[in-house]
């Protein structure tokens, strides 16, 4: 099975592109102790999501993350823990421009070293992107890279959400700007290596101290008029505390769109699996029903974050353990918590799993162990019924509980056996 | 028991103040079918949260909500369903300024009618606030009202998050603005009735068609320089789909800061209640332990959103039913879903509630019925243990599960009996 996880379609970029991610912010605007880029989302720092968004782009060669000196060790640990590739960390300067400049210079050095070995070129284009904008897509990076190659500089813009006003020194309204003529300057921005390198060579100490806008330096010191490209709203910068909640919600939603239902080849499980599939569809979750994860179906191990094991009238802890083993082998839980839900269909006369306490304790133990490896295991028990209305209500509840568990990904509820 | 729910301290405002809430937006930027102001947050539309934020301010006399004609019926239903006071809906115009103008004129009419009856004045100050900024606080409304009374006009500002740039007609960078000199103009804004009334009388058709900034009209047509006041980040406008998640998260967090633990006067329940209190404190949730909701403690019915009933070695469905009855009498679930968690401590040798299926079915039935009345009922079972380490782990799990249930407020999980 090849890795197909979220690889967007490849685009032709026949020149070398590198990325600088300034990540030196102190996060004062979130009102939190931890700088935003290091805030955890389901156990992983925001910066790792941004790196992931950039490193999965095949035509990007190198990524330099610029962090404050005191965060170098932390950053190195993050790169190692989440097995990021083509990334290295360099220490930042005292201002945003000094940090970006350090990143650009580091790209040059890196490439010089390589040159001796591989006679590779310096990057033709450097993309600068914020560490706290994790939802950038390949498509937009491509547009910025191409425009930068052609024009020398390019930057993302967004419409202004609020009217911008000029204030008097006494705190009164001076005038308001005509909204249509102005835009918010966002990230990513792209430059040919020569333009961004020269801009930083030529700019003044004062530019380094108080400036923030790279496009402005390119214009002032290289005469390069940047091409402005309107980006999607997902380019937004995680700035305030509320943005952390918004980011978490987007990440969780992305992980919750689909699931894979495994019947274990049991003929009795198939009708239940199909019914759950239908009910989940009405809740905007797309389910694929498969007998097992073998053969061609092992691709689900590499692209799916949620698994539902259906079992009828028997314990299936062994099946669950087998999925756990497969998922660990595929190393899928490294970047996101995975969810496994065991749906157990019991006959009314059967000694149910909930009453068989040793079985329940074993399930809880397996779940606790899996939780340590970033896999969230839950159980749902549904009772067979010949009353159609009652049965349909039960199936709907299975779907609702499944959807809630997958969307919320709550570690506090692992090992629970819920009743549908 | 008097109603003490979230009433901020009263401030002295010795002139009449009214509020206009323009709510005519079409919500195109969220990418959703429903306009943002009507999107549901735990069953209640956003506009109702904004109305609540304004109507609880004692010194605000009247609120006029301006909605598109096609939403008049919906808005009237919302006002009725959530029992909003001092609010009426009026139909909007074809642009933002026409809508706000309609709201201002409606205030005048209303007051004229009153004048005949009560010889009351027109509002001295009119505050204009967006329907999609639900987190405005009394303190800031007060600042705006006082500055408007004094200066004629006042408006909220925020620092710019992004650099603002001017673009050429060909889509290139023209120049970037010096960030320090500019601010984002936000809401609320306040005006004396005379200034906003005259501004709309004097302004042109073109102002009505393309303008958006009321402060600009006050300056241009009444020569009134608005006082600008920096507001908190919570003033932000729910604009994009991600903002819906951020708003929901803020609302849920506000509801999840505290809970009330009821021991039912049982001596055995008190140590467990105290242990849960301590563990929850470490999870940033403040618990008050009380024997019941009678006498002085009935105040919790009016200020608390979360209740934890602790019971030892016996069914306590009757206690839960009694809390349900009290909460319904206090009508607290009208604006927010309330949570009740039954924590059942059982001896190892006891026939536990989870194995006594009829009891569990009865619990599920009570929970389903409560859910229809916006009260979320969950159960947690914890087993007595003489092994200290094991017991402490169990108590910690009770606190973790409690915290997760209260924070997530998931209707899909009501009636479940979870194992700690
Ligand atoms: Mg910039
Ligand atoms: Mg305005």
* Residue B29, pLDDT above cutoff 80: no
In degrees, rounded to 5, the angle at the alpha carbon of residue A189 between the alpha carbons of residues A188 and A195 is 155
Q: Which residues belong to CATH 3.40.50.360 in chain A?
A: 256-419
Question: A240 and B236 in contact by Cβ < 8 A?
Answer: yes
The pair of three-digit structure tokens given for residue A136, joined into one six-digit string:
């950038």
Task: Flag if A160 and B157 touch (Cβ within 8 Å).
Answer: no
Asked whether the beta carbons of residue A413 and residue B418 sit closer than 8 angstroms, the reply is yes
Do you know the residue count of chain A? 420
Start-end of CATH 3.90.550.10 domains in chain B: 17-250
- Chain B residue numbers with beta carbons less than 8 Å from the beta carbon of A158 are 162
**Cβ–Cβ below 8 Å for A184 and B163:** yes
Write out the H or E segment, with its range, that includes residue A215. helix A214-222
Q: What value does the mean pLDDT take over residues B182-209?
A: 96
Least trusted range by pLDDT, from A107-116, A405-414, B54-63, B219-228: A107-116
Give me ligand 2 centre to Cα B185, in Å. Answer: 7
Q: Does A400 touch chain B (CB under 8 A)?
A: yes
Tell me whether residues A173 and B354 touch, CB distance under 8 A.
no
Domain A17-251 part of CATH 3.90.550.10: yes
CA of A181 vs chain B CAs: smallest distance (Å): 6
Helix, strand or coil for residue A229? strand
Ligand 1 centroid to A200 CA: how many Å? 14
- DSSP character at residue A45: E
Token pair in block for residue A285: 């979750």
The three-state secondary structure class of A284 is coil
Are the Cβ atoms of B181 and A158 closer than 8 angstroms?
A: no
Degrees to nearest 5, angle at CA A36 with A33 and A90: 105
Closest partner residue to B245 among A167, A179, A249, by Cβ? A249
A79-91 exposure pattern, b = at least 16 Cβ within 10 A, e = fewer: beebebeebebbb
Taking residues B180-204, what's their average pLDDT?
A: 96
Range ranked top by mean pLDDT from A114-118, B93-97, B264-268: B93-97
Q: Check if the beta carbon of residue A92 is closer than 8 Å to that of residue A115.
A: no
Q: Cβ neighbours of residue A203 under 8 Å, at least 6 residues apart?
A: A97, A211, A217, A220, A221
- Tell me what pLDDT residue A3 has: 44
Q: B29 and B71 in contact (C-beta within 8 Å)?
A: no
Bridge partners, residue A229, by sequence: A156
Residue B196 pLDDT class (50, 70, 90 cuts):
very high
- A184 alpha carbon – ligand 1 mean position (Å): 10
- pLDDT at position B106 is 93
A273 closest CA partner among A293, A299, A291? A291
For domain B17-250, give the CATH number: 3.90.550.10
- CA–CA gap between residue B111 and residue B123 (Å, rounded): 8
Q: What percent of chain B has pLDDT over 70?
A: 90
Confidence class for position B10, pLDDT limits 50, 70, 90: low
For residues B247 and B262, is the Cβ–Cβ distance under 8 A?
no
Q: What is the pLDDT along chain A (420 residues), one digit of tens a residue?
A: 444 455 555 678 999 999 999 998 765 655 667 899 999 999 999 999 999 999 999 999 999 999 999 999 999 999 999 999 999 999 999 999 999 999 999 998 765 555 554 445 578 999 999 999 999 999 999 999 999 999 999 999 999 999 999 999 999 999 999 888 999 999 999 999 999 999 999 999 999 998 879 999 999 999 999 999 999 999 999 999 999 999 999 999 999 999 999 999 888 899 999 999 999 999 999 999 999 999 999 999 999 999 999 998 777 888 899 999 999 988 889 999 999 999 999 876 554 544 545 688 899 999 999 999 999 999 999 988 899 999 999 999 999 999 999 999 999 999 999 999
Residues of chain A contacting residue B240, judged by C-beta atoms under 8 Å apart: 233, 236
Which carries the bigger pLDDT value, residue B116 or residue A366?
A366
Rounded to whole angstroms, how far apart are CA atoms A321 and A323? 5
**Three-state DSSP string of A255-273:** HCCEEEEECCCCCCHHHHH
Task: For residue B164, give the chain A residue with the closest CA.
Answer: A184
The encoded tokens of residue A247 equal: 């980011």
Pinpoint the residues of chain A covered by CATH 3.90.550.10. Answer: 17-251
B241–A contact, CB cutoff 8 A: yes
The answer to whether the Cβ–Cβ distance between A161 and B237 falls below 8 Å is yes
Burial class (CB in 10 A: 0-12, 13-18, 19+), A123: buried
Rounded distance, CA A259 to CA A289, Å?
A: 9
Q: Which residues pair with B158 in a beta bridge?
A: B184
Strand partners, A412: none
* Separation between Cα atoms, residue A64 and residue A128, nearest integer Å: 10
Mean pLDDT within B252-264 = 96
A173, A190, A352, best to mutate vs chain B, most B CBs in 10 Å: A173
Residue B341: pLDDT band (50, 70, 90) is: very high
Residue B30 clears pLDDT 90, i.e. is over it? no
DSSP 8-state assignment for residue A40: E
A367 touches chain B (CB under 8 A): no
Average of per-residue pLDDT across B77-95: 95
Q: How far apart are CA A17 and CA A58, in angstroms?
A: 10
**Structure tokens given for A138:** 């390949």
Residue A36 burial class via C-beta count within 10 angstroms: exposed 0-12, middle 13-18, buried 19 and up? buried
Q: Is A55 on the interface with B (CB under 8 A)?
A: no
d(CA A171, CA B229): 8
Across the interface, of B183, B237, B242, the residue whose CB is closest to A250 is B242
- Tokens encoding B336: 């927010």
Query: Is any Cβ of chain A less than 8 angstroms from the Cβ of B72?
Result: no
The span from the CA of B87 to the CA of B129, in Å, is 14
A222 Cβ under 8 Å from any chain B Cβ: no
Residue A361 is predicted with a pLDDT of 87
Q: Measure the CA dihedral B173/B175/B178/B184, to 10°.
A: -60
**pLDDT of res. A9:** 57
Q: Is the preceding peptide bond at B58 cis, omega within 30 degrees of 0?
A: no
| Cα A372 to Cα A376: distance, rounded to the nearest angstrom | 9
B360 touches chain A (CB under 8 A): yes
CB-facing half-sphere around the CA of B102: CA atoms within 13 A: 23
| SS3 state of residue A112 | helix
Q: Which residues of B touch A417 (CB under 8 A)?
A: 419
> Is there a contact between A163 and B184 if contact means CB atoms under 8 Å apart?
yes
CA distance B323 to chain A (A): 24
**Which residue in the set B184, B228, B243 is minimally distant from A162, CB to CB?**
B184
**Dist. CA B411–CA B372, nearest whole Å:** 10
Ligand nearest to the CA of A162: 2
B120: confidence class by pLDDT, cuts 50, 70, 90: low
What local confidence, expressed as pLDDT, does residue A313 receive? 74
How close A238 gets to chain B, by Cα (Å)? 10
Whether B116 shows a pLDDT value over 90: the answer reads no
Strands (E), A180-256: 182-192, 227-230
Q: Say what the pLDDT of residue B4 is.
A: 46
pLDDT at B114: 56
pLDDT of residue B24: 86
Q: What's residue B123's pLDDT?
A: 84
Mean pLDDT of B22-40: 79
The pLDDT, as a whole number, for residue B108 is: 82
Pick the CATH number of A256-419 from 3.40.50.360, 3.20.20.10, 3.40.50.970, 1.10.630.10: 3.40.50.360
Query: How far, rounded to the nearest angstrom, does the alpha carbon of residue A13 sit from its chain's CA centroid?
Result: 24
Contacts of B403 in chain A (CB under 8 A): 412
Are B249 and A249 in contact (CB < 8 Å)? Answer: yes
Quick one: tokens of B269?
Answer: 């329940």
The answer to whether residue A280 neighbours chain B at the CB level (below 8 Å) is no
The whole-number pLDDT of residue B3 equals: 44
Distance from CA of A118 to the nearest CA of B (A): 37
């Amino acid at each position: 099975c090849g890795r197909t996880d979220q690889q967007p379609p490849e685009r032709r970029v026949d020149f070398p592109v590198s990325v600088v991610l300034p990540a030196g912010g102190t996060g004062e605007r979130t009102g939190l102790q931890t700088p935003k880029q290091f805030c955890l989302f389901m156990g992983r720092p925001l910066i790792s999501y941004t790196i992931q968004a950039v490193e999965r782009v095949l035509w990007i060669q190198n990524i330099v993350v610029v962090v404050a000196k005191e965060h170098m060790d932390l950053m190195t640990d993050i790169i190692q823990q989440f097995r990021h590739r083509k990334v290295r960390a360099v220490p930042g300067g005292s201002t945003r421009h000094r940090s970006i400049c350090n990143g650009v210079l580091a790209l040059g050095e890196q490439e010089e070293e390589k040159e001796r070995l591989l006679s590779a070129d310096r990057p033709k284009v450097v993309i600068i992107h914020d560490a706290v904008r994790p939802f950038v897509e390949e498509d937009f990076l491509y547009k910025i890279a191409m425009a930068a190659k052609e024009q020398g500089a390019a930057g993302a813009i967004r419409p202004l959400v609020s009217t911008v006003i000029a204030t008097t020194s006494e705190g009164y309204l001076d005038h308001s700007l005509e909204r249509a003529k102005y835009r918010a300057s966002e990230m990513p921005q792209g430059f040919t290596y020569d333009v961004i390198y020269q801009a930083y060579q030529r700019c003044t100490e004062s530019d380094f101290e108080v400036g923030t806008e790279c496009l402005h330096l390119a214009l002032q010191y290289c005469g390069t008029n940047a091409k402005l490209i309107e980006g999607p709203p997902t380019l937004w910068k995680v700035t305030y505390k509320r943005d952390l909640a918004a980011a978490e919600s987007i990440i969780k939603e992305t992980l919750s769109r689909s699931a894979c239902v495994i019947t274990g080849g049991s003929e009795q499980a198939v009708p239940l699996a199909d019914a759950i599939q239908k009910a989940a569809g009405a809740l905007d979750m797309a389910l694929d029903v498969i007998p097992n994860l073998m053969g061609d179906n092992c691709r689900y191990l590499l692209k799916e974050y949620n698994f539902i094991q259906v079992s009828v009238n028997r314990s299936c802890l062994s099946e669950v353990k087998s999925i756990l083993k497969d998922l660990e082998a595929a190393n899928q839980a490294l970047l996101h918590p995975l969810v496994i839900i065991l749906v157990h269909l019991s006959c009314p006369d059967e000694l149910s799993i909930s009453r068989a306490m040793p079985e329940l304790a074993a399930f809880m133990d397996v779940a606790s162990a899996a939780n340590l490896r970033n896999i969230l295991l839950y159980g749902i028990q549904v009772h067979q019924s010949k009353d159609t209305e009652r049965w349909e209500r039960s199936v709907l509840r299975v779907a609702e509980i499944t959807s809630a568990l997958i969307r919320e990904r709550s570690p506090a509820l692992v090992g629970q056996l819920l009743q549908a």
